Chains A and B, each alone.
Chain A
Amino acid sequence: MKKTIFTAFLSMLLLLCMVNRTAAQTFLDVGTTVSDYPKVTWLKGEAITKFEKDKIYVVELWATWCVPCIAAMPHMNALAQKFKDKGVVFIGQNVMEEDLEKVKTFVEKKGEGMSYHVAFGGAKGNEFEKTWLEAAGINSIPQTFLVQNNKLVWITTPYQLNEQVLDLLVAGKFTIAAATALTENR
């Protein structure tokens, strides 16, 4: 009797797992709540597993083959230095490549040119790709995600992110309209 119940329970569990695998895709839109950082390989800085409510996160996508991403690194690096004591966390998230050694070598060579958290996404189908790239419709890089109060507040590009935009975030006055007005006036 016990064995039958146990087998029944086990098969029900398996059935539930199979059903969950075919669940509808979740999307990552501006306004979506984000709590956990996807499982990635951290190459520099402390590993980040959760988004903290009182911090602002800049998740900057890059790859060793992405020329404009690399060109934007000095700009990102300068902002990272300027805002690190104001509760802004910069993450250089490597995506769309699979050679970990190549990425590691690149990051080592960059040295102080990448003075922020750096992570490697992983092989095709990795968690970051699924839950952030596919879910947000990201097909090309560079791309920058801004997170505040555990919410995605903007999907933008490195050169639209400047000091004034970060000031808005820090002051709690960020809106996409205000941020785009700043970049349009330049």
Chain B
Amino acid sequence: MTKKNKFVAILSMALIHAGLFSHAQQRDYKIQGNLDQNVAGKIYLMYSVEGNYTTDSTLVKAGAFTFTGKIDDPVFATLSLNPNVLKGKYGGIEHLDVQRFFLEGTVTKVSGGPLLKDATITGGTAQKDYQLHGAPIIPYNAKLKVLNDDVRKFKDAGNEAEVAKLEKQIEELRVLAMKNDSSFVEQHPNSFVAFTLWKNRYRGVVDPDAESGFLKFTPQIRATKSGKIMGEKIALAKKLNVGKMAPNFTLKDKDGKPVSLSDFKGKNVFLYFWYENFGSFPDFSFNLGRINRTLKDKNFVMLGVYYDINSDQGKNAWLSILTDKKMDWPNVEEVGGITADMTIPGIVAQTYGLNANTMPQAFLIGPDGKITARHLRLADKDLVSKLEALLQ
């Protein structure tokens, strides 16, 4: 991963997934643009709510434009003026003059210019917070640009010593940006922007230790749509913590016969939820074989639960893999349980909090049905020795 533009990345990525559902408690928003009189053309508004992307566009006449719509909680949005719409087979849009801001169910004013990136955007509390948070980062961004340009120059000249020195400085700036985020979060427990910054550190599996940070936010924040979603994730994390009973379920095996987790009570169960190609498939499948060979006679059973997240072949892909890779241990499927468009119809997926961001996952369950370990990495060559040490 390159460090280039790391905290233009931090700043935007930290805020870009401020999402929520688009029903109940929707508020009207209005964006009133008054750019320089000479500005004309087309302007785009883009934002994403829980993985659902919205794009709107309108004409700019003598610097004036208007957007209206509805949203629940504030959302991190992008305005793009006169982007380059690419012609040809693949199309696409090249955004050249953009500004990011916090869109809220109120009136937002965009004024100044002539470039959009030089305009002033004022709106609700979230936009104020966003600017307050972002102000200290502006000089960091300026320094970062210089450092990145220099890194490129030295890399081209093959000067590794200088590159290493500069990358150290870039890392220091990144740490300063992170500190800025942390103190903003600490000092603004009633700010939706602060909550968004904090919550976006938990993009994958949430652990119960997220609760202490969550409770620092006000009841008002915790009652927002995203607040409630985070609360639910923390509740599930507690339910699936080490020491708790693993929730039972029943799914079908390759012959269509029902298999339940409780069928294996009395044995250590390595329960893994997987799909093809979450990483190196050969490494993953070979690792399952290692675990099977080494542990199968130690009061141990493996139970694989398959999802077809990136395969449109449903059960067929799964059946081929089972045969090809000689997965001669219990395997069941919940095909269709997690879909590509982020809906989770599967009951087992819902029970275990499985989605595209939290897959794959693996648990070790003791003979008493209680969870012995989680956060097990499926392609980790050392996994077999870790499991062996935990068997009861």
Contacts and interface: CB of A to CB of B under 8 A. Distances in A.
Contact of B385 (A139, A140, A177): A177
Contacts, number: 31
A27 B389 contact: no
B290 A137 contact: yes
Interface residues of B, number: 15
B352 to A, nearest CB: 27
Contact of B382 (A137, A139, A140, A180): A180
Given A30-B385, A176-B385, A139 B283 contact: yes
B381 A155 contact: yes
Contacts of A137: 282-283, 286-287, 289-290
B280 A139 contact: yes
A100 B17 CA distance: 53
A156 B382 CA distance: 9
Contacts of A156: 381
A177 B294 contact: no
Most buried by B among A31, A137, A155, A177: A137
Interface string B371-392: 0000000000110111001000
B293 interface: yes
Contacts of A52: none
Given A137-B282, A137-B283, A30 B289 contact: no
Nearest to B285: A137
A177 B383 CA distance: 11
A86 to B, nearest CB: 25
A184 B273 CA distance: 26
A139 B286 CA distance: 10
Interface string A152-182: 0001100000000000000000001100100
Contacts of B280: 139-140
A29 interface: yes
Interface of B: 280, 282-283, 286-287, 289-290, 293-294, 381-382, 384-386, 389
Interface of A: 27, 29-31, 137, 139-140, 155-156, 176-177, 180
Given A137-B290, A176-B385, A180-B382, 6 more contacts: A30-B385, A139-B280, A139-B283, A176-B382, A177-B385, A177-B389
